[in-house]
Amino acid sequence: MSKILIIAEHLNGKLNASTAKCVTAAKAIGGSIEILVLAADPTGVAAEAAKLDAVSKVVTVADPAFAVATAAAYAPTVIAAAAAYTHVLGPSTTFGKDLMPRVAALLGEAQVSDIMTVRDAYTFERPIYAGNAIITVKADPARKVVGTVRTASFAAAGASGSANVETATLPVSVPKHTRFVELKAGAQDRPDLQTAGRVVSGGRALGSGEAFDIIYKLADKLGAAVGASRAAVDAGYVPSDLQVGQTGKIIAPEMYVAIGISGAIQHLTGIKDAGTIIAINKDGEAPIFEIADFGLVGDLFKIVPELTEAL
């Protein structure tokens, strides 16, 4: 039977929803599911993790070096904890993409990245070629599976569980050669792009950072997060953490509004799992309309303020 360990992602004492999505992927694998929380003070995060459905145990390791999640500090402890498990999973977020390859490499295993479907405990589907094709990957059942879970492909597990929380002391010295210096993040007065139920994105057509104001206004009316195409990011209209797509964020909101975005494949791969897609573009032949559920053909500078006003 599989024994699955999920590495909890958390920030400022709160468990990230990505962990609950890993639990859903783990349920599809089948077997026992445990969560490892590494933190300076794991109490609050562990209590949240213990509530996730199907989790049998939460293991915590406290160390001041875990105050901020750095892969260098986390990895040796994860490896020591991983010994007793058949699968070690993390989310395919910035956190997991940083940590899990290091864990896999130190364990001498090949990582299964970006799991979007679990066929069985050792068979997974994942996207390749910017989401243009899906590959089925078979892991060796005789070896440990180290994997990252594409959070956009799994719903979050419910929170009606009550797992035991155990404090572990592992015979590992936490490396001190990597130190956290500073986190630079944009002001978080809007919903988080990666977890928001609604997202409004703007593209190159906006033409300037100032013009993006109409995107922010519509997003605020909808209670939505703001995203952008790479062209808009490269042109400096918005910061890079708003980029949606292959080299940006992979998201799965219930509603995605693409404004002045042509619909290049590298952008579409980021919204493959979105629910309702609405496109506003002056070119009726733009590829975005091929995947949009609703389309408005016209000038965004006229339509978007009207829409915001009407809302």
Q: Measured between alpha carbons, how far is residue 144 from residues 20, 54, 73, 87, 203 in Å?
A: 22, 21, 21, 6, 42
Q: Tell me the CB-side half-sphere exposure of residue 36, using CA atoms within 13 A.
A: 29
Give the residue at shortest CB distance from ligand FAD: 245
Pick 191 or 227: Cβ nearer ligand FAD: 227
Q: How far is the CB of 289 from ligand FAD (least distance, A)?
A: 10
Pick 96 or 227: Cβ nearer ligand FAD: 227
Q: How far is the CB of 87 from ligand FAD (least distance, A)?
A: 29
- 245 annotated among ligand-binding-site residues: yes
- 244 annotated among ligand-binding-site residues: yes
Q: How far apart are CA 297 and CA 81, in angstroms?
A: 55
Q: How far apart are CA 73 and CA 112, in angstroms?
A: 22
Give the residues lining the site for ligand FAD (CB under 6 A): 203-205, 229-232, 243-248, 260-262, 264, 266-267, 270, 281-283, 286, 299-301
Dihedral sign (CA 241, 243, 249, 251): positive
Q: How far is the CB of 71 from ligand FAD (least distance, A)?
A: 23
Q: How far apart are CA 35 and CA 157, in angstroms?
A: 13
Pick 19 or 262: Cβ nearer ligand FAD: 262
Tokens representing residue 16 in the block: 């990230």
| Sequence letter at residue 69 | A
DSSP secondary structure code for residue 121 in this structure: T
Pick 57 or 282: Cβ nearer ligand FAD: 282
- 92 annotated among ligand-binding-site residues: no
- 132 annotated among ligand-binding-site residues: no
- 262 annotated among ligand-binding-site residues: yes
The residue among 196, 177, 157, 156 whose CA lies nearest residue 71 is 177
Q: How far is the CB of 213 from ligand FAD (least distance, A)?
A: 15
Q: Tell me the CB-side half-sphere exposure of residue 278, using CA atoms within 13 A.
A: 14
Q: How far is the CB of 49 from ligand FAD (least distance, A)?
A: 31
Q: Summarize the annotated binding site for FAD as residue ranges.
A: 204, 229-230, 243-247, 260-267, 281
